[in-house]
Structure 1
Amino acid sequence: MTLQDKFSELDNQNKALLAVNFYNFETLSGVLRAAAAQDTAIILQSTKSTIDYLGLEVTAKLARAAISQYEVEAWLHLDHAQDVNLVKRALDTGYDSVMIDASEQPIEENREVTQQVVEMAKPYGANVEAELGYIAKLGQSKEKAAFTQPEEARDFVEQTGINALAVAIGSAHGFYDKEPNLDIPLLKRIREETPAALVLHGGSGIPDSQIQAAVTNGIRKINVATEVKNGFMNTLRQEVPKSDEIDLRKIFPPAIEHVQSLLEEKIAMINQA
């Protein structure tokens, strides 16, 4: 099943999928263990930073091998690519889905580069995601407001032909300084204007009730990254001082288990929406 078909299935069920970034074998393992334990499909995401660290071919083959090992229905997604050349390389390497993020450019430029990627992805049958509006990235101000407007979303999807659209409705990447407040009425209006699968970025730290309301009102993909990195590293910081072990393979398991537990809870919560 393609990710596009999965989104259509989710739309009929009014459900959503968790999309989780991985950074190494250990975080990848934690993500897939959670999906297997909850008997659910999942989206595995890698960014340019992860690809720079592991290498593109290793990233893709590691993900494919792990998906097979854990026998989970999963798709490999390129997250927040700003370079069309990287998108092409990911498609050539077998990614199921790519995101071209030109959201910080004027909307005309965003539309143009997104159209280019949509045409590029067609021979591969890959899912294409783009972003419209301002969703603060790491280090950027969370005070700036540029929410996605329903009519703009409709026109953008129609003109570009994208399958999925990341919408700005009050979330942000990284840690939140204060509790976020998603604009659910705005999300509902966007959903009424476009058939594209709507994506919630910055899913780490959003209260469960708001995530569930977002799913009920049209979100089909929920991105999580910060909580995985933070929880993994905090667990390692606790474990390393307690051990004289030089075998790193014996140090990682508690951190992997933390990631699994965290994501199992999130998957269960999303499925209750």
Structure 2
Amino acid sequence: MLAKTLELVTEARQHGVAVGAFNTYSLELTQAILGAAEQLKQPAILQLGVASVKTGGEPLVKATVLAAQNASVPVAVHLDHCADLDMIERCLAWGCASALADGSHLSFEENILLTRQAAALASSYGATIEAELGYLAGTEDGVTIEAIKASLTHPEQARTFVEATGASMLAVAIGNVHGFTPNPPPLDFELLSQIASQVDVPLILHGASGLGKESIQHAISLGVAKINVNTEVRTAFLTAIAAWGQRVGPTPDVRRRGQDWLDLMREATAAARAVVTEHMQTVAMMA
């Protein structure tokens, strides 16, 4: 059933757990995420990135919304990491319940302006805005401890930012990074605690791929109510495809069992679903 992002996140926060938010790029990945959610009887958030929306357009967004509507558990659809107000409006009009107005690369004042404009826009659609304060490096950026420290969320700035923008959720930078790192940098839980004491909106943790169960659950205990996972899920999907290709060889025989498109998609979807299931079990456990 189609749900509102903020309602799912707020309810999770009240119960001391979090909602798993997983990026989807196709119907197969959507099925993997929803299959795990329905099996565990847990709510979930389907996230669409800017590149996916540019590629799939309105059909992809509306198909994702329809899949959420048909799910047996509450599911929200969210536009992830977007700095384009026009795209945010289009996705809200197509059925997304929320969007991340990503001004994290802007100055503090410019980030406030973008987020405030996005929040006003979202309210006209009955939707909500997630904002990001502090810059999350990605693995492609060449992650260093020095770079991470320079980009962390400042607690007092967080309070000013939320008050000035009307953002309903706040993504924080506490040492987390986008993408998978074999040895992820440690999260600054003291900083997270300070941020939580300054703002009264649910906190969001991006870059959960590669973080251990204990770190994720500790973050939840300090106020994080939405956990974003992308890299691990799509890597599992792609790895299954690569393994299928090695097993079948360069010229599949679609007449043979296990070598057609649906066989490939079943294997890849199952691999992604297993990763989603593991993360959903982690975020739903009382910290």
Normalised-by-shorter TM-score class:
over 0.9
Q: Structure 1 CA distance, aligned partners of 2:220 and 2:273? A: 22
Shift of 1:52: 1.6
Matches within 5 A, 1:17-28: 17-28=19-30
Shift of 1:180: 2.4
Q: Structure 2 CA distance, aligned partners of 1:115 and 1:45? A: 22
CA contact (8 A) 1:245 1:251 kept: no
Determine the structure 1 residue equivalent to 2:73: 72
1:48 is aligned to 2:55: no
Of stretches 42-51 and 142-151 in structure 1, the one that deviates more from structure 2 is 142-151
Determine the structure 2 residue equivalent to 1:15: 17
Cα 1:137–1:82 change in 2 (3 A) is: farther
> How many residues are aligned here?
272
Determine the structure 2 residue equivalent to 1:103: 104
Matches within 5 A, 1:225-264: 225-243=230-248, 244-246=252-254, 247-264=260-277
C-alpha RMSD of matched pairs (Å):
1.3
1:161 is aligned to 2:163: no
Matches within 5 A, 1:139-178: 139-143=140-144, 144=147, 145=149, 146-178=151-183
CA contact (8 A) 2:210 2:232 kept: yes
CA contact (8 A) 2:204 2:224 kept: yes
1:135 is aligned to 2:136: yes
Shift of 1:252: 1.1
Shift of 1:138: 4.9
Matches within 5 A, 1:181-196: 181-196=186-201
Q: Structure 1 CA distance, aligned partners of 2:191 and 2:156? A: 11
Structure 2 residue ranges without an equivalent (≥5): 255-259
Q: Structure 2 CA distance, aligned partners of 1:68 and 1:134? A: 33
1:270 is aligned to 2:272: no
Shift of 1:109: 0.4
Q: TM-score, normalised by structure 2?
A: 0.91
Q: Structure 2 CA distance, aligned partners of 1:27 and 1:3? A: 19
Structure 1 residue ranges without an equivalent (≥5): none
The residue type paired with residue 83 of structure 1 is D
Q: SS of the counterpart of 1:252?
A: helix
